[in-house]
Copies of this chain bind each other. A is one copy, B any other.
Amino acid sequence: MALSPLAPAAFPELPPIAGVRLAVGQCGIKYQGRTDLMVAELAPGTTVAGVFTRSLTASAPVEWCREALPGGRARAVVVNSGNSNAFTGRHGEVTVAATVDATAALLGCAPNQVFVASTGVIGQPMSPRLIPSHLPEVLASLGEEGWAEAARAIMTTDTFPKSVTRRAVIGGTTVTINGFCKGSGMIAPDMATMLGFIFTDAAIEAPVLQKLLADSSERSFNCVTVDGDTSTSDTVLLFATGQAGNKSVAKASAKRLQDFRRALDEVMLELAHLIARDGEGATKFVALTVAGAESRKAAKRIALTVANSPLVKTAIAGEDANWGRVVAAVGRAGERADRDRLQIFIGGVQITADGAALPDYDEGPVAAHMKGRDIEIRIELGLGKGEVTVWTCDLTHGYIDINGSYRS
């Protein structure tokens, strides 16, 4: 698979996180000659938060994580690519239990401290013995390095590994946040499965961590779409090992969390952007803002309708400043809109007012903007204060190539 033209020029080197050790392995689940298993071992006392797909046909690993999450503690996360273990019935639960039990036995922890995630083809049973048989060897190679390899082991149709790092200060103590993810979609909607794993050495209680993750997801992963298809397996987990030495944070409103929130938001947002930049077949990265809606919820529904419109996405692929398709998508989004107040801007240039194109609208600079890699569309509804930005990519022949042949 050719590297996405929207891939970053360089990949960041992620520093170690005290209390996190990583390893990868090759189980031959689907792919040959590449890694397909990633294990992160977490120090005792690590707290955990998670957000998951809203799909009603969620995978066995997602159901397990939901069950384990209230425990609030994690000692390991085990992730495989090549098979999502979704819609595999009772067999899928057996496979999850086998992986969890084997990991718990090897690390000497309770099963509900082992989190799992799987991504790949739906509906194909996966042998319960496959991952456990590789675990002893994989765990023997655990180390503080290897973040790039970990990010690579969880890839499916991704054309580049996606990782971000930030530092923050909590009450005078510097902490680190490392994250990596895979996929080309979002929690809802989504395309190929979106998996994200974020690790910090900060000490933060599990309920606080959950609040931080939920807030940040809403502004990042939940604002990215590639094709509107939500996966059965979407999972984002955030682990805090508590090894940095800050006094553990027990309240989400604590003022000393301010810088950590900022850093976590940056990690989550950058990971989310990387997903849109690696959207299947993507050649353009699109930032789409809807402002002046009746509410943030209305703004988001309109923004996602435009961002998922095949006609808008193919126009962007064709470098066509076809703002009429944006108008049409706004009109069918199901939220209040007033044709005569609607203002559309592309690349910062206002195109419409009073229910029509501006009399002196010059397509020249807009056409030039459409030829770039980064496209900016702004829609002002003139009705209220609801505003949101979502990110997406264009719809190209590459998407058809990938999805018309690959069974994912």
**Which A residues contact B (CB, under 8 angstroms)?**
53-58, 84, 86-92, 121-125, 188-189, 191, 227-232, 309-311, 314-315, 317-318, 320, 322-325, 327-332, 336-340, 342, 352, 354-357, 395-397, 399-400, 403-405, 407
Contacts and interface: CB of A to CB of B under 8 A. Distances in A.
B229 A407 contact: no
Interface SS of A by simple majority? loop
Most buried by B among A84, A124, A318, A340: A318
29 contacts: A55-B328, A55-B331, A56-B331, A57-B331, A57-B339, A58-B331, A86-B327, A86-B328, A87-B324, A87-B339, A88-B356, A89-B340, A89-B355, A92-B355, A121-B324, A123-B327, A191-B310, A229-B329, A230-B332, A232-B331, A310-B399, A311-B403, A314-B399, A317-B404, A324-B407, A395-B400, A396-B404, A397-B397, A397-B400
B55 A400 contact: no
Contacts of A342: 57
Number of copies of this kind of chain in the complex: 2
B311 A227 contact: yes
Contacts of A325: 122, 229
A54 B332 contact: yes
B403 A310 contact: yes
Given A122-B328, A227-B310, 6 more contacts: A58-B339, A87-B324, A87-B352, A314-B400, A315-B403, A318-B403
Of the candidates A92, A121, A188, A314, the one having the most CB atoms from chain B within 10 angstroms of its own CB is A314
B395 A90 contact: no
State the 7 A-B residue pairs at the shortest beta-carbon distance, nearest first: A122-B324, A89-B356, A57-B331, A318-B404, A230-B332, A55-B331, A314-B403
A56 B355 CA distance: 12
Contacts of A311: 191, 227, 229, 403
Contacts of A54: 332
A253 to B, nearest CB: 33
Contacts of A89: 340, 354-356
B90 A328 contact: no
Nearest to A231: B328
A90 B355 contact: yes
Contacts of A340: 89
A296 to B, nearest CB: 19
B404 A327 contact: no
Contacts of A55: 328, 331-332
